[in-house]
């Protein structure tokens, strides 16, 4: 008898679509930061950190650190991560 660990299943398509819609709505409201947006994007794809990093062509370590809020990615890396969702970076002035 073999004991295999079950693979994680992707969230149902409907759930990922709802999460994608929430992501874009929060972006439109300017109600989400970069780190949280990247986490949501990855979850919309139903991929692990390692799988999403491979998908976009960045090191898994870079994505993991970025999602933990301790990364210091280059602009090129950020653009790779955002590309599957046709997103761009934008600078905002936040009055204090």
pLDDT at 19: 95
The CA distances from residue 35 to 5, 73, 78, in Å, are 30, 11, 11
pLDDT at 37: 96
pLDDT at 4: 52
Q: Is the pTM of this model over 0.75?
A: yes
pLDDT at 90: 83
**Higher pLDDT pick, 84 / 5:** 84
- In sequence order, the 6+-apart residues with CB closer than 8 A to the CB of 41 are 23, 52, 81, 82, 84, 85, 87
CATH assignment of 13-85, among 3.30.310, 3.30.1370, 1.10.287, 1.10.260: 1.10.260
What are the residue boundaries of the structural domains of the chain, listed by start? 13-85
pLDDT digits (tens, 9 = 90+) for 10-29: 678 999 999 999 999 999 99
**Pick from 88, 81, 48: which is nearest to 66 by CA?**
81
Whether the predicted pLDDT of 5 surpasses 60: no
pLDDT digits (tens, 9 = 90+) for 33-65: 999 999 999 999 999 999 999 999 999 999 999
């Amino acid at each position: 008898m073999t004991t295999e660990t079950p693979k994680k299943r992707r969230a149902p398509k409907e759930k990922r679509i709802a999460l994608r819609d929430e992501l874009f709505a929060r972006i439109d409201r300017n109600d989400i930061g970069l780190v949280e947006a990247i986490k949501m994007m990855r979850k919309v794809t139903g991929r692990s950190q390692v799988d999403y990093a491979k998908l976009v062509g960045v090191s898994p370590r870079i994505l993991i650190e970025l999602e933990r809020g301790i990364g210091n990615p280059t602009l090129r890396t950020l653009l790779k991560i955002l590309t599957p969702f046709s997103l761009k970076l934008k600078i905002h002035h936040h009055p204090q």
